[in-house]
Amino acid sequence: MKNIKFEPVIGLEVHAQLKTHTKIFCSCTVRFEEQENKNTCPICTGMPGVLPVLNRKVVEFALKASLALNFHINPVSIFARKNYFYPDLPKGYQISQYDIPIAEHGYLEIEKEGTIKKFRIQRLHIEEDAGKNIHRADKSYLDFNRAGTALIEIVTDPDFRSAEEAASFVRNLRSVLQYLDVCDGNMEEGSLRCDANISLRPVGQTNFGIKAEVKNMNSFKFIEKALLYEIERQTELLEEGKKVLQETRLWDSDKGKTFSMRSKEFAHDYRYFPEPDLRPLVINNNLIEKMKKELPELPDQRRKRFVNQYGLPEYDALILTDTKNLADYYESCVTAVSDPKMVSNFIMTEVLRYLKKHSLEIQENPVTAENLSKLLIFIKNGTINGKIAKDIFREMFTTKKSATQIVQEKNLSQVSDESSLQDTVQKVLKNHPTEVDKYLGGVQNLFSFFMGQIMKETKGRANPQKVTEILKELLKTQRS
């Protein structure tokens, strides 16, 4: 078996929590972080005799997502009950969609190094979320604040051939959902959850191998790591002539491994049947047209616009449009500073570097777009130079002070005054006669040595362009 080359076949199931104000079948507010069970009512806690009534917004959000992901919308879809017992599931069944979901046959195109690859998506359906079990010491508690929150489940075809492809799909999907403003896409907090089905097969074979389902991958990084681990694990099994078990496995991010879940969990018979408490969901063309009109600019379109409108390189546009918030941040800076490439450079290097270092999302950035714009304007009009700007940015990031305030407090504005710069240059040349001689003798690269010395003298505040001019001038006079 050793010499057979295997390829992974991966399909994904993504659950996205919709950002509707109220729950899917009752009018409770969607907020989990409050006191336990504060946002509950007889309907979302499964009291006897109550009935679900579908939230119209949920349908609209699901339609937006379906349209943005190129789905065929089913004119009539059916809600179904998925039956199983668990304390966080108040009714003993989850209302979902089964035989006929709201949308089928979608796809998402992802561009990588100039080529576009199309990933097919089987279906998108609407369902409700469960509550939360809380285990403390010897007792268990239940919090139903989350119970009845609206979800969409998106099931892809088994179209991914690497862990990286799968992770990049989820990243792109998240970006689309965020642009649509239907899901906040926070994987760590569980508003976007992803499970994967993964199997291996010899390259060239068309039928599928036996798959394992991997759960609990709550970040892009973990999706990639968990799938890489699974590929390795399954490859080893197959190479040793062993079989892959059809089972559900949990990713343990601390150990960097997947572990088999109890087989009992897998033996569920959900006894799906049509939900008799809800009528079939009928979507008419008017609603579809209305939703189409409401669709915002999507990541792909925005990326292309960034290239055309701002003249950015593809790479910059791709990174800056990764999330809606980052793209919005960029665009408000560009409006204020009107130097698209300079703004792009500063955000792509300094801003993103600091965010990554502090594990923050762009919306948590302590430096507002307005403040960053002021800093960038200081560079542009020569008040400060690029090097000092980086120091100021660091301080803005940690203290949340404005650029203006820091520049004033530390007297950091750039020295552009001719006479004082001339004095400094003269002083430096006087202090380094040997180097001056060598330079005049033809060692050209000593020019930067003088520049460095001058910057050192001025603590970096010298206007580099002015210094260059003066330095050239004075060296010329030395020669003669």
Partner 1 sequence: MSNPKEHLYQKTAFDLVSGFKNKQWKAAEIAESFLNRALDTNKKLNSFICIPHESILDHATLLDEKRNSNEDLGSLACSPIAIKDILCTSGISTTCGSKILQNFTPYYDATVVEKLKDKDALIFGKTNLDEFAMGSSNENSFFGPVRNPWNLDCVAGGSSGGSAAAVAGQQCAASLGSDTGGSIRLPASFCGVVGVKPSYGRVSRFGLIAFASSLDQVGVFTKDVRDSALLLRIISGQDSKDSTSSSNFVPHFLDSLSIKKKWRIGLPKEYFQQGLDSEVRQALSQSISLLGKNKFEIEEVSLPHSDLSIAAYYLIATGEASSNLSRFDGVRYGYRASNPKNLNDLYKRTRSDGFGYEVKRRIMLGTFALSSGYYDAYYKKASQVRTLIIQDFQKAFEKVDLLLTPTAPFTAFKIGEKTKDPIQMYLTDIYTTAVNLAGLPALSMPCGFDSKKLPIGLQLIAPRFEEERMFQMAHYLEKEFHVQNSKHHIVL
What the block records as the tokens of 314 is 């593809």
What backbone phi and psi angles, to 5 degrees, belong to 127? -155, 175
Q: In whole angstroms, how close is the CB of 49 to partner 1 at the nearest point?
A: 4
Calculated CA dihedral for residues 255, 260, 261, 262, nearest 10 degrees: -140
What is the CB neighbour count within 10 angstroms for residue 349?
A: 12
In the stretch 5-44, what mask flags binding to partner 1 with x, by CB under 8 A? -------------------------------------x--
Contact by Cβ (8 Å): 419, 413 = no
**Least Cβ distance, residue 44 to partner 1 (angstroms):** 11
In this structure, what DSSP letter does residue 99 have? S
Q: How many other β-carbons are positioned within 10 Å of the β-carbon of residue 167? A: 26
Per-residue binding letters, 272-311, with partner 1 (x by CB under 8 A): xx--xxxx--------------------------------
Residue 353: closest CA among 373, 374, 367, 335? 367
CB of 65 to partner 1, least distance (A): 23
Q: Which residues contact 405 (CB under 8 A, 6 or more apart)?
A: none
The amino acid present at 457, given as its one-letter code, is: E
What are the percentages of helix, strand and coil residues in the chain, rounded to 5?
A: 40, 20, 35
Minimum distance of partner 1 from residue 178's CB (angstroms): 31
387 binds partner 1 (CB under 8 A): no
Q: Which of 46, 190, 366, 382 binds partner 1 (CB under 8 A)?
A: 46
* String of contacts with partner 1 for each residue 70-89, x by CB under 8 A: -----------x-x-x-x--
Nearest to partner 1 of 276, 442 (CB atom): 276
The residues in 53-72 that bind partner 1, with binding defined as CB under 8 A, are 53-54
Task: Give the HSE-up count for residue 413: Cα atoms under 13 Å, Cβ half-sphere.
Answer: 12
Q: How far is the CB of 28 from partner 1 (least distance, A)?
A: 14
By beta-carbon proximity to partner 1, the closer residue of 92 and 452 is: 92
Cβ 261 to partner 1 shortest distance, Å: 16
Distance CA 126, CA 278 (A): 13
* Beta strands 273-274 and 212-215, pairing class: unpaired
Closest CB to partner 1 among 88 and 339?
88
Residues 98-157 that bind partner 1 (CB under 8 A): 142
To the nearest whole angstrom, how small is the minimum distance from the Cβ of residue 60 to partner 1?
Answer: 17
Phi, psi of 104 (to 5 degrees): -135, 160
Contact positions toward partner 1, by CB under 8 A? 42, 45-54, 81, 83, 85, 87, 90-93, 142, 269-273, 276-279
